[in-house]
Amino acid sequence: MTGVIIAAGKGERLSNITGGKPKTLLVINGKPIIQWIIDELSASGVEKVLIVTGYQSEKIKHYFKINPHENIKFVYNNLWEEGNGISVLSVGKLVKKESEFLLMMSDHLIGRKVIKDIIKEKKRCPLLAVEKKLGKVFDIDDATKVIIDNGKVISIGKELKKFNGVDAGLFLLDFSVFRFLKRSIKKGEDTLTGGIKKLIKQRELHSYSIPDDDYWIDIDSEDTYNKAMQMWRIR
Digit-coded pLDDT (tens) for 146-199? 999 999 999 999 999 999 999 999 999 999 999 999 999 999 999 999 999 999
User: Rounded to the nearest 5°, which phi and psi values hold at 132?
Assistant: -95, -15
pLDDT in tens, 106-141: 999 999 999 999 999 999 999 999 999 999 898 898
Report the domain count for the chain: 1
| Residues contacting residue 41 through CB under 8 Å, at least 6 positions apart | 3, 49, 102, 104, 115
Q: Rounded distance, CA 186 to CA 140, Å?
A: 30
CA 159 to chain CA centroid, Å, is 19
19, pLDDT greater than 80: yes
- Which range, of 8-22, 34-48, 171-185, averages the lowest pLDDT? 8-22
Q: Which is more confident, 129 or 13?
A: 129
Whether residue 14 is predicted with pLDDT greater than 90 in this model: the reply is no
Residue 53 contacts residue 8 (beta carbons within 8 Å): yes
**Which residues span the domain enclosing 188?**
2-231
* pLDDT score of 96 more than 70: yes
Residue 235: pLDDT over 70: no
**Average pLDDT rounded to a whole number, residues 73-90:** 97
Q: Which residues are CB-contacts of 98 (< 8 A; sequence separation ≥ 6)? A: 175
The CATH number linked to 63 is 3.90.550.10
Say if residue 234's pLDDT is above 70: no
The pLDDT of residue 70 is 86
